[in-house]
A and B are shown apart, each in its own frame.
Chain A
Amino acid sequence: MTPASMDMAQLLPVFLPLVWAAILALAVFLYVLLGGYDLGLGVLFPLAPSHRDRDAMMASVAPFWDGNETWLVLGGGGLLAAFPLAYSVMLPALYIPLILMLLGLILRGVAFEFRFKSSRFRWAWDLAFAGGSTVAALMQGGTIGAFVQGFAVTDNKFSGGAFDWLTPFSAVTAVAVLSGYVLLSAGWLIMKADEALRDWAYGVARIALIAVALFIVAFSVWTPLLHPDIAARWFSPGNMVMFCPVPLLTAAAVIGLWRGIAKRQRYAPFLWGAAIFQLCYIGLAISLFPFIIPPDITIWQAAAAPDSQLFMLYGAVPLLPIILGYTAYSYYVLWEAPETDTYH
């Protein structure tokens, strides 16, 4: 073996899990952002001022929901491929919330197709859209909370109970994520809706922002209390300086969003909302890294064989930019929500 190939053989198992953790983090972030505004619309659906507004809300996302949801599939499939041990521990541990999430996604997904075909049962598909979106959002939030709490593992298998995931902490993360999704969807509507609906969305965004800001403060206190390791990481003197941009930028984003709402800006609220999500996400990564199953299993321990990760990387590196490209094109072409008139 040449020295160079020996180096590769030693380096790949170190670097590939990092690369895949980054790719999956990107996939999950894109899902949270795109699926977030998408599900948030469903949560807001029953509260919308009028029938017309509900139609407009649904129309604004109808061409995109399938693509948005595909990031969730990549998150799941990618986890299986890149970190099979994490996948095989987490999914049984999260059996109940994940099944409920899937059922919610089914009901709200088919509502896009069924709702406009029905006049007698339109109320039922409205309910399916709103209820399914709300359940899916809550279960995703609960899942994140359960993930932060960690899972009982024995011999590489989940060894806890069916309801381990459900705690006060995960119940609060469920509501927190729901409020975050509502904030994103209010930002989405501010970009896309007509004036009357936009006015309403500014009001929603303000309330959601207050809730989100309170949740962020709460979790900044609660999460370190949950794991001493997390507290040590954030509050050791050197790290405090290194990581202080995260809370400071989060505060700046909250203020920016508040001003954006006050000044009735069109695009800033969504972008500030996305920034808040991004920063919370980075904060979470700082807390948990390098664990993929807190508090015991690291990304290196859970990683698939280097050969499997490499094989996928050959595809992911060229394909992800192409995917992002045609997704952007589709958003560009279909940005203005389609009107009935175009079809008559």
Chain B
Amino acid sequence: MSELDPLLLSRIQFAFTISFHIIFPSFTIGLAAWLMVLEALWLKTGKQIYADISRHWTKIFAVSFGMGVVSGVVMSYEFGTNWSELSRLGGNVIGPLLSYEVLTAFFLEAGFLGIMLFGRERVPKWVHFFATCMVAAGTAISAFWILSANSWMQTPQGYRIAEDGVLHVTDWWQVIFNPSFPYRFTHMVAAAYLTTAFVVSGIGAWYILRDRCMPHGRIMLGMGLSLIVWLAPLQLVIGDLHGLNAREHQPAKIAAVEAHWETRRDAPLVLFAWPDVKTESNLYEIAIPDLGSLILTHEWNGEVRGLKSFPVDERPNPVIPFFSFRIMVGIGFIMIALGFTGAVLWLMGRLYTTRWFLRAMVLASPLGFIAVLAGWFVAEVGRQPWVVYGLLRTADAVSPVPGGSVAASIALFVIVYGIVFGAGVFYMGQLVRRGPGQTPPVPEEADPSRRPLAAAGAP
């Protein structure tokens, strides 16, 4: 084998491309649902302000959605280009799930996106509202199938293994609604809604601070906070239930997340440590005695398995799961605190005038993205060394491609994604700065008669 290891490189490439991709669905799932609510409010109340906000955010949606689409197409091919053995052995199971995602979600989104972006003046209002609903439904259905496929790979059931090693489905219901799926799906959708709510309310707060588009900013902040205040605490509950489920089905992942090496009934809650794989112990540990058992098992002296109880070649490396988990949970608590503070200020009638809080909301606007990425790092690194948990090792799933090809493709992905991401963030920022309900300045060298047709280019 050459020095370039296709396995390691394929893992790096997948991690990079999927991390880049997940940013956009995390935003558009919630945004599509919010746009649907705004349109409904507009249809019901007839207030122009809802139409202004929805028009403005539709343009931001278009940019984000476009980046999600193009980076998503990559994912559906990487299963074959880089993980062909997973496809060959697991294709009977994950193939139909992904195909149902295309048939029930991608086409729905793509078919109605055109009408949503370009059809406002061409179809009756209710048809446009319907198109927005279909796009929103498509994003949620897409999450349903992809989370089902991912969850099945984490907690497989409803299958049998044929003599040639190929997996066959014995029960589709068990495959789709596998043990971790309900937790993962609700956890991810709630995360997407929270991510969007923090972006929307953060930008609303920014308008208020800048004394621009005040009425719009207030609606954004108010609607965002009214979601955050109950969803952020609920997300903690969902996450906790998800943790209990993972402890049952993926105990090695939980041991890694908690940096527990020994199996004990009085497991501590490790707040900080550097988990050292060589010595199989924690360096610089700061821990609260006994609290780990309570949180993980909901019992005072529940048994918590440590990493040492698993064979060395069936353990994930705990460093990334341990730290990612703490980042995610830390952000979760910040979100709860901001939601609570916002609610109190609102009850006191000081929400829109408390500048320190508005500034905090502006700063918090990207937190959801970081939490989503951290959460996925926990899920995906924590399940190693398995790609299908307990059945197929990541090392056995890789394609027969030379490392040089993968190294070259990583370099190209980094360059292209870097440009696309930088430009996308810049243009979305430009749209945000322009603000809702404003006619944009005519670009200097704009063509007089028929300029922009891309939806986001239009006011």
Contact = CB atoms under 8 A, between A and B. Distances in A.
Nearest to A319: B103
Interface string B238-267: 000000000000000000000000000000
Contacts of B439: 344
Interface in B103-126: 103-104, 106-115, 117-119, 121-123
Q: Find the residue from B72, B102, B443 having the highest chain A CB count within 10 A.
A: B102
Nearest to A50: B447
Interface SS of chain A: helix
A56 B114 CA distance: 16
A84 B342 CA distance: 52
B455 interface: yes
Contact of A77 (B98, B118, B427): B98
B96 A81 contact: yes
B69 A84 contact: no
A106 B451 contact: no
A126 to B, nearest CB: 13
Question: Which range contains the number of A residues in contact with the other chain?
Answer: 35 or more
Contact of A330 (B77, B115, B409, B452): B115
Interface stretch (A4-12, A209-217, A335-343): A335-343
A87 B98 CA distance: 14
Interface residues of B, number: 88
A188 to B, nearest CB: 15
A227 interface: no
A330 B412 contact: no
A307 interface: yes
Q: Find the residue from B92, B94, B95, B459 having the highest chain A CB count within 10 A.
A: B95
Contacts of A84: 87-88, 90-92, 95
Given A117-B457, A162-B401, A315-B100, A51 B447 contact: yes
A327 interface: yes
B420 interface: yes
Given A72-B73, A109-B69, A340-B458, A157 B400 contact: yes
Nearest to B167: A305
A148 interface: no
B112 A343 contact: no
B454 A95 contact: no
Contact of A52 (B73, B81, B107, B449): B449
B48 interface: no
Contacts of A162: 401-402, 404-405
Interface stretch (B60-68, B181-189, B304-312): B60-68
B95 A333 contact: no
B112 A55 contact: no
B84 A67 contact: no
A109 B62 CA distance: 12
Contacts of A56: 450
Q: Find the residue from B72, B80, B85, B121 having the highest chain A CB count within 10 A.
A: B80
B77 A340 contact: no
A110 interface: yes
Contacts of B446: 119
A85 B102 contact: no
B347 interface: no
A26 interface: no
A74 B106 CA distance: 9
Contacts of B69: 66, 69, 109
Contacts of B450: 52, 55-56, 59, 339-340
B12 to A, nearest CB: 14
A110 B420 contact: yes
A105 B70 contact: yes
12 contacts: A69-B110, A77-B76, A80-B79, A87-B95, A94-B81, A105-B70, A110-B66, A110-B70, A116-B451, A119-B444, A121-B423, A158-B399
Given A87-B95, A91-B77, 15 more contacts: A51-B447, A52-B447, A62-B455, A66-B114, A67-B110, A80-B95, A81-B91, A87-B79, A88-B91, A99-B81, A113-B427, A116-B454, A308-B96, A339-B450, A339-B453
Interface of B: 62-63, 66-67, 69-74, 76-77, 79-82, 84-85, 87-88, 90-96, 98-104, 106-115, 117-119, 121-123, 166, 168-169, 172, 399-402, 404-405, 409, 412-413, 416-417, 420, 423-424, 427, 430-431, 439, 443-447, 449-459
